[in-house]
Amino acid sequence: MTFSAFKETAMKVVFAVTAAVFILCVIVICVFIFARSVPAIGEIGLFEFLFSTEWAPNNTPASYGIGTMIVGTCFVTAGALVIGVPIGLLMAAFMARYCPKPLYKVMKPMTNILAGIPSIVYGYFGMMVIAPLIRDNFGGTGYSILTASIVLGIMILPTVIGVSESALRALPNTYYEGALALGATHEHAVFMTEFPAARSGILTSVVLGLGRVVGETMAVVMIVGNSTALPDSLLDGVRTMTSHIVLELGYATDLHRGALIATAAVLFVFILFINLLIVAIRRKGRAK
């Protein structure tokens, strides 16, 4: 065997091992979560676990229903998307098609910085700025679905902006020119031609943002109120699945602990579903 052939084989082995370790990690996490949660769910009952809104591990008999947390995650996620997506898409359109070059040179790094800010800083910002604003203007404690939605809406901006902007930039010029040649204005060409043309990339950006919101923990736990009761309004506090786990895992034992790991499993299924959605969107985009 020549030296270069040996080198090639060696590198192949290195790559194979790296890939194997990576895949193993995913498998181990899956197995761990589901192995720990299946017995717990079996004991509680799947229906009871998912749909009961009663979470009282200290009662006798204890009840372990995470319905409220699922609702909380859904509300906060929806709220963050309602706030973050329109702003993000408009920003993406601005950055890709309106922004003068000198301003772009400032704005692009700013969105990158926004992406790099640790989530605890976002949480602190939410506690110190957004929560008092909500409390003073709308009442309540300030720690609420609305507060979390606003902060998370800001947190997903870099993702939505970045992915949508590159989707717009990746379009060939011909769509824009074609629209203009038909007498369309710049606005019409961007929003009625280029946006639909880039829809798979734009949808991907939204779903990536969605994934970020569903999985976000630290910022949420600081501002969402963490009440285990079903919310009556956007000004009520809720618990998301992530904040639920982080709040109680430290001291939970036995079935209580099992129920929290099972919550992680539910979260895992959510994220899995979101990833499948992204794959489906990409595939559909390619088929076009």
Partner 1 sequence: MIRPELRQNVYIRGDAATPKFRVRELDLFYGTFQALKSVDMDIEANEITALIGPSGCGKSTFLKTLDRMNDIIPGCRISGKVELDGADIYAGGMDVNLLRKRVGMVFQKPNPFPASVYDNIAYGPKTHGVRKKSELDDIVESSLRRAAIWDELKDRLKKSALGLSGGQQQRLCIARALAVKPDVLLMDEPTSALDPISTGKIEELAQELKKDYTIVIVTHNMQQAARISDKTGFFLLGELIEFGGTDEVFDAPREKRTEDYITGRFG
Sites of contact with partner 1 (CB under 8 A): 172, 174-175, 177-185, 188, 192-193, 196-197, 288
Separation between Cα atoms, residue 188 and residue 288, nearest integer Å:
22
CB of 207 to partner 1, least distance (A): 20
Nearest residue (CB) to partner 1, 144 versus 204: 204
* Phi and psi at residue 140, to the nearest 5°: 80, -170
Longest dimension (CA), the chain: 77
Nearest residue (CB) to partner 1, 197 versus 259: 197
Separation between Cα atoms, residue 89 and residue 195, nearest integer Å:
9
Q: Give yes or no for a contact between 205 and 162, defined as CB atoms under 8 angstroms apart.
A: yes
DSSP string, 31-88: HHHHHHHHHHHHHH-HHHHHH---EETTSSS-EE--HHHHHHHHHHHHHHHHHHHHHH
Nearest residue (CB) to partner 1, 49 versus 176: 176
Nearest residue (CB) to partner 1, 60 versus 173: 173
CB of 19 to partner 1, least distance (A): 35
Residue pointed to by tokens 């929806």: 78
Nearest residue (CB) to partner 1, 188 versus 257: 188
Nearest residue (CB) to partner 1, 75 versus 195: 195
64 strand-pairing partners? 55
CB of 177 to partner 1, least distance (A): 7
CB of 165 to partner 1, least distance (A): 19
CB of 210 to partner 1, least distance (A): 24
Whether omega before 57 lies within 30 degrees of 0, making that bond cis, reads no
CB of 188 to partner 1, least distance (A): 6
Residue pointed to by tokens 């929560």: 131
CB of 96 to partner 1, least distance (A): 15
Q: Give yes or no for a contact between 94 and 168, defined as CB atoms under 8 angstroms apart.
A: no
- 21 alpha carbon, distance to own chain's centre: 26
Nearest residue (CB) to partner 1, 108 versus 188: 188
Query: Residue 209, exposed/middle/buried by CB under 10 A (0-12, 13-18, 19+)?
Result: buried
**216: amino acid identity, one letter:** E
